[in-house]
Amino acid sequence: MSGPSLTEYLKGHTLRIEKELASSLPERWDVPGPLRESMAYSLMAGGKRMRPILTIAAAEACGGSAEAAIPVACAVEMIHTYSLIHDDLPALDNDDYRRGRLTSHKVFGEATAILAGDALLTHAFYSAARSAREHGIAADTVLSIIEELSYYAGPRGMVGGQVADMQGEQGLTRLEELDYIHTHKTSDLIVFSLKAGGRIGGATERQLDALELFGTNIGLAFQIQDDILDIVGDEKKLGKAVRSDEKQQKVTYPYFIGLERSRDKVASLTELGKEAIVNADFPQPDMLLQLADYLMKRDH
C-alpha cells in the first residue's frame, strides 16, 4: 500500500498542527485577554508550518509516530512565531505586514507585541515539557530536546544570528559572513525541528548527525531561495528591467554571486542534505527527501 502524496501529507499535517496549536494556547480565563488574543493572532495567522512538518517527518523517518511528535512540533512553531513578532517590531525591521495581515505591534501596540513574543517563547518550553510527560517520552529524551531548543533558539543560535545580521547591516564583505548569519538565523531552528523529531522517533546517533547535516543544508538553501524569491517577486511586480533600490542593495547570496549561481547553490545544498539522509539507514526517509525538493522548488 502506498503512503499519502506530498500534497495530502502537507494538508493533513497542517490541519493537525493548527488544531493542536489552537488548543495549546492558555485558556481564556487563565491569562489577561489582550495577551491571549495577541498570542493567538500571530500563532493562528497561517504560514507554511514548515518547521513543525519537518519535526513530524523526522520522527516518522525513524519509525516513530506523528502523534508523539506533534506537541514538540507545535513548540517549534511558537518559537518561530515569537521570532517573527519581535523581528517585525519598530526597533528591528519595523514591518507593518506579516503573513498577509497587519503585524502584532500594529494591532496590539508595541508593548503587548513584545510580551506576546515573550509569552510564546516561554509557553513553547511549557508545552514541550508538559506534553512530553503526557506522551510518556523518556526523561532523558525530554532533557535533550529542551537543552537543544535553548541552544538552537538562543544566543549561539537564532538570536545570535539575528544580532550578527544587524551587525552585518554596517557592511558585509565576505560570503562566509553571510553563511554565518543564515546558519544561525535560519538553519538552527530547522536543525532543531529535525533533531527533536528524530529524538522522539528513536533516532540513532548517526541518524541525528544526518538530520543535523540535512537541516543545515536545507536551511541555507531555504534562505537563499527566500532571497531569490524576494528579487524575482519584485521583478514580476515591477517589470524585468526595474528592481527596487532597496532589494538591489540588500546583501544576500544573489548580491554576491548573482541569481543563476544562487539557484545552483540551492540545488546543490539540497542534494547534499538529501545525501546525508540517504546514507544514514532511516527506515522511512521518503517524506523527508520529498520535503527537501518541495522547499527548493517553492515559489512563496
The whole-angstrom separation of Cα 44 and Cα 229 is 24
Q: Distance between CA atoms of 117 and 157, rounded to whole angstroms?
A: 17
Positive or negative, the CA dihedral 86, 193, 159, 218 is: negative
Does the footprint of ligand GRG cover residue 162 (CB under 6 A)? yes
**Segment contacting ligand GRG by CB under 6 A, of 8-16, 83-91, 191-199, 248-256:** 83-91
Min CB(219)–ligand GRG separation in Å? 9
Between CA 129 and CA 211 the distance in angstroms is 22
- Is there binding between residue 220 and ligand GRG (CB under 6 A)? no
Question: What's the burial of 290, exposed, middle or buried (CB within 10 Å: 0-12/13-18/19+)?
Answer: middle
Q: Which stretch binds ligand GRG (CB under 6 A): 24-32, 78-86, 127-135, 266-274?
A: 78-86
Candidates 60-68, 107-115, 158-166, 234-242; binding stretch for ligand GRG (CB under 6 A): 158-166
Of the pair 108, 282, the CB lying nearest ligand GRG is at 108
Return the residues of window 230-269 that contact ligand GRG according to CB under 6 A: none
Give me the 88-117 binding string for ligand GRG, x by CB under 6 A, dash otherwise. Answer: ----x------x------------------
Q: What is the rounded CA–CA span in Å between residue 52 and residue 55?
A: 5
Cell of 106: 500594529
Cβ 139 to ligand GRG shortest distance, Å: 29
Nearer to ligand GRG, 28 or 298 (CB): 298
Nearer to ligand GRG, 83 or 104 (CB): 83
Torsion, Cα 72 76 82 84, to 10 degrees, reads -160
Is residue 86 close enough to count as binding ligand GRG by CB under 6 A? yes
Q: How far is the CB of 146 from ligand GRG (least distance, A)?
A: 18
Q: CB neighbours of 220 closer than 8 A, spacing ≥ 6?
A: 179, 182, 183, 186, 187, 269
For ligand GRG, the binding residue among 11, 19, 28, 48 (CB under 6 A) is 48
b/e 26-35 (16+ beta carbons within 10 angstroms → b): eeeeeeeeeb
Distance in angstroms (rounded) separating the CA atoms of residues 298 and 217: 16
Residue 87 binds ligand GRG (CB under 6 A): yes
Out of 24, 186, 187, 217, name the contact with ligand GRG by CB under 6 A. 186
Note the residues at the interface with ligand GRG (CB under 6 A): 47-48, 50, 83-84, 86-87, 92, 99, 158-159, 162, 185-186, 223, 226
